[in-house]
Structure 1
């Protein structure tokens, strides 16, 4: 029996809505709260129960949280519309007008060969020259392709044979400000699945020229190693 779905369908508009929403960080916890954590806390039986509970309990994440209301979500939607009509569409129209066949062939080749090699070198450097030296007693291995969450976890840091934490490596160039990087709901689910299998959390490590850019992740990993050793 096919399960009922409550999500609205936006057709071809979905791509531009998703792009703009992610680009301008309009669905992050500091805007709409930690929605997956909230709904798990609520454990609703109906969508009406979830909606009522959300607006009664949801606050934005951050130093100065404020209560989320229907009006605040409406405001986010209006900001999304402004960004799309005033920024995204003009930028895309200019890009479309200048796009050539050579751009397309160069892009595919560059994506397949050049960027893959850059990413490979970046990962090796971050792990071998950064993490492995900071944590010499941890065995770091590339995630095997058959692992369910291998697409979201690049390396596994083994505390023991059955306990480990995960590492995802992101280039800083992918986001000028890595503090604004938004983890998708799919990735959150993947990270949770990894934790169920290995006991440890997944950490996002940002690479700048092959070095760890977010140095604050090191003490977080240290604390996770200590936690896992105590289990």
Structure 2
């Protein structure tokens, strides 16, 4: 059975209006990464961090999946082999299109208790010191993997990569570990590797194929090709 592992990044959601909020100067919406995306930043100023993710949550809730999200959901539904979608994005656009995904960096619509690990749907506005509905500790935080924390599902993702026939990287630079190692693991087991990106990443030349263009153009075309091969 053919097995496909797909990694998606911010580029696939940009055309749904969720542009990357990390700018070229390293700031996130005029905030330092350390201030809004690290455990230390949350400990220092929880109100700022909650406000930051409240804004992200509101934007994500208003966004709609585009044809690239829909094409991947169609591939997952219609391809006779196994299709695993791993995303670095924290929006729910893949799910809204009908796909099942592994959110390695968490989900902005989810809340996490830092005391007991309980998860629950995040309210539209989270406040500092909110109580966990399970243990009542005032330790509610966004269910986001911050810098310095271990991404979710890494063992499962690595198992999928170690048995995949295809690895496709969509809309991501792939420069940050552990995602930067996904290509190497897939390549080491002989998987066909493909990058679909608006512009070639620094590692594009290492892929067996690299195509440049918008996700809404490249992804549906690639999915059509994959489904045509098995029809």
Give the TM-score category using the shorter length: under 0.3
**Using CA pairs below 8 Å that are at least 6 residues apart, which structure has the higher relative contact order?**
2
State TM-score, norm by structure 1.
Answer: 0.27
State TM-score, norm by structure 2.
Answer: 0.27
Task: Considering fraction of residues, name the structure with more strand.
Answer: 2
